[in-house]
Structure 1
Amino acid sequence: MNNRESYDYIIVGNGLAGLHLALSFAQDSFFAEKQIALIDKSTKHENDKTWSFWEKGKGKWDNIIQKSWQEALFYSSEKQITLNLNPYTYKTIHASDFYSEAKRILLEKSNIHFIIDEVIIVEDSAKPIVKTATNSYSAHHVFDSRITEDYFSELNNYTKVIQHFKGWIIETETPVFNPEQFTMMDYRLKDGEQTTFTYVLPFSKTKALVEFTYFTPNIVDEQTYDKYIEEYIKSVLKIENYKIIETESGKIPMTNFPFENYSTKNIMKIGTAGGWVKGSTGYSFKHTEKKVAIIIENLKKNKPVSTALFKSKYKFYDKIFLKVLHDENEKGEWIFEQFYAKNSIETMFRFLDEESSLLEELKIMKSLFSSAFIKAFFKTFYHS
């Protein structure tokens, strides 16, 4: 039983960011004597999402990946593109497997403590106070994954596109999927003139995740997703008989809202609440790993925790992309077709990973050169 009320570090929220951070603390001997608490009202055991990401070679999560691929398909209304991902591999992990593996590692550490409680407020001071429904705790530093209330009240002042989706994991009676290829984006079935596409991850010849996704300013009702998933399975995949094993859904903010401004000297916003989700794509898994690695080094070197956490040029690129998607949402298919058709995998992934050279960035810009991007550039430049 844990009777402590004071810690070196408190992590509010046991999601992707909180657990990544706790694992980095646990696996670095520098923090072996530090007392660390994770506070969440949930025990985090449900399979509430799927995380997918690309990386080169072997990775630290290979023991729990559900499936990996080295070839992807892209479909626009006009063409099909087959993408050889080498030297990258695309990997997918079920959230429940990640939660279980993270907790297994963390529970072996005597200096890491799980507290099941609801955080009500975090009070900023030289030694912040975390007040929960049943207790109060202090720490030298708090990492808070709760999204600020200002996001909901002030979002209209910023560019906002929501990546929202629903997916079915289906199982068929006969082999119909090619488990060696996944579908990154398929625009052959769309909801009007909006940026909507289907994403397919085949886990085996008879089992796959089929997900209908929107990159739009507004959301839709549950039945709309179901209608398009059902239509895609029937009309595109030509599958008549199948059963739904699981469903998943989500809403990811793609926005230039300044989440990072809500961190202070002793309280850092993390995850979505800290602006760690890449604004132009919604990708978070590998970006979270990178942010956590920077935080750990900052703490070890006694630097301000948020030092070098963001690269301003990529935030600017994301703003332009979001402006186009927001103002001319029907252009999404064209944007992604140009992106995948005119750039190498290495160039694209390095750009999305925020590791690109200036030459690679110029190649990306050239492939997307259009009046929409020119307008978005000047609107963004003069309002930055």
Structure 2
Amino acid sequence: MLGPVYYYVIIGGGMAGLQLALQLSRDVFFKGKKIAIIDPSDKDKNDKTWCFWEKGAGHWDHIVSSSWEKGLFFSSEAKLELDLSPYRYKKISAIDFYTEVKKELSHSPDVIFIKDTITEVDTVKMQAIGEEGNYPATHFFDSRIPADYLEAKKATKIFQHFRGWEIETENEHFQPEVFTMMDYRLKFKNSTSFMYVLPETSKKALLEFTFFTPFLTEEKIYEEMLENYISEILKIGDFRITSTESGVIPMTDFPFEKKNNRKLTKIGTGGGWVKPSTGYSFKNTEKKTGKIISNIKSGHIPGKNLVYNRFRRYDAFFLDVLARHNQKGEAIFTKFYQANSIEMIFRYLDEETSFSEDIKVMLSLFGYEFIEAFFRKL
């Protein structure tokens, strides 16, 4: 039996779905248009951490738990000190984001939260089919990863996968004003793997051992690498683990955006909103939800021009190299950080550079692996 007809159904109450619902609810253009946010989880746990860089003050500064204007990059043979100015690197805990956004949305008469698992979207009958009920709508925003993603043979698929420990120590070991973007001094065999360190105080930090690889690994590998890094690199003997987190993020050139049409728009991870070459998604989501709002108000389909094909091609080259020459990741990232200013790196990753600037960045990474990737991905 069908319930009320919603104007929009948002499938997935995670970061993308909540950011989209928030922007819709704040715009008078959408006043009176009923929105259902459907997710199997209550989003009441701190299940992840999001980090991003931006210039000056931002929309989320009131829930930013830590931020840094200096960073470090370590290869096995070099140490780079990174002055991020005019940017800052910012950290948000998922629970703070969920709590903040859900609180605001709870005051909107147009937004309803529904706990259910959607198994199918029928764009003929225009309903999302769930385990607990069916939900008619005029448009669906779907964050689920498409079923044909893993079987797609032409797409390059690697994974960012990680395990993180938030630790506290008795003595002072960390510089709270400096974070570590990548530390390759300890890595797993012949892989692109590194440590990522976000210090909050001199005695507290989040450490994540991270892989950019075509393969996944066992939990014990992450644990061993974290333990070895803490003892061998940081020289910390006694510490206490206060929380843990882990994740697997697809890094791929799969064309998620081709699923978009007048009835359905893929969003979040399922829409390709994770930057393929880095795994970052928070600021991408803010930009893409803003673009969706603009598209709707201009009379276009919501998913129009959500992907910059030029930058997607660059990401495809990079992913192809990492997939085929994963042991060279350290050397590639070292050249990337040594040959380019932080401002250029951030603008390039934010897809804000000109074509001539793109050429300079790509020349800094020049090697036969990228030439091979270029011809494979033509």
TM bucket normalised to smaller: over 0.9
Q: Identify unmatched segments of 5+ residues in structure 1.
A: none
What's the CA shift for 1:62? 0.6
* Structure-2 residue corresponding to 1:108: 107
Pick one of 231, 234, 239 that aligns with 2:231: 234
Aligned to 1:351: 348
Q: 1:208 aligned to 2:208?
A: no
Q: Which whole-Å CA distance do the structure 1 matches of 2:3 and 2:89 have between them? A: 42
Whether 1:163 aligns to 2:121 is: no
Identical residues among aligned pairs (%): 51
> For residue 145 of structure 2, what is the aligned residue in structure 1?
147
Distance 2:277 2:313 in 1: 10
How far residue 4 of structure 1 moved from its aligned partner, in angstroms, is 5.5
What is the RMSD of the two structures over their aligned residues, measured on CA atoms? 1.1
Task: Tell me if 1:96 matches 2:92.
Answer: no
Confirm or deny: 8 A CA contact 1:52 1:91 kept in the other structure.
Answer: yes
The whole-number CA distance in structure 2 between the counterparts of 1:179 and 1:155 is 43
Give the equivalent residue in structure 2 for 1:50: 49
CA contact (8 A) 1:12 1:38 kept: yes
Q: TM-score, normalised by structure 2?
A: 0.98
- Displacement of 1:122 in angstroms is 1.1
In the aligned structure 1, how far is the partner of 2:274 from the partner of 2:286?
12
Runs of 5+ unmatched residues, structure 2: none
Does structure 2 conserve the Cα–Cα contact (< 8 Å) formed by 1:7 and 1:138? yes
Aligned residue number for residue 18 of structure 1: 17
Q: Displacement, 1:134?
A: 2.2
Give per-residue Cα distances to partners, 1:243-284, cap 9 Å, x unaligned: 000000000010111111222321111111111111111111
Match of 2:5 in 1: 6
178, 195, 202: which one aligns with 1:198: 195
Alpha-carbon distance in 2 for matches of 1:155, 1:301:
33
* Paired positions, count: 377
Other-structure match for 1:319: 316
Out of 90-99 and 370-379, give the one that drifted further.
Answer: 370-379
- SS of structure 1 residue aligned to 2:319: helix
Among 325, 335, 347, the residue aligned to 1:338: 335
Q: Which runs of 4+ in 1 moved over 3 A?
A: none
User: In the alignment, is residue 137 of structure 1 matched against residue 135 of structure 2?
Assistant: yes
Cα distance in 2 between the residues matched to 1:269 and 1:284: 14
Counterpart of 1:122 in 2: which secondary structure?
A: strand
Aligned to 1:267: 264
Asked if structure 2 preserves the Cα contact closer than 8 Å seen for 1:5 and 1:136, the reply is no
Note the C-alpha offset of 1:359.
2.3
Distance 1:353 1:332 in 2: 21
Which residue of the partner structure matches residue 172 of structure 1? 169
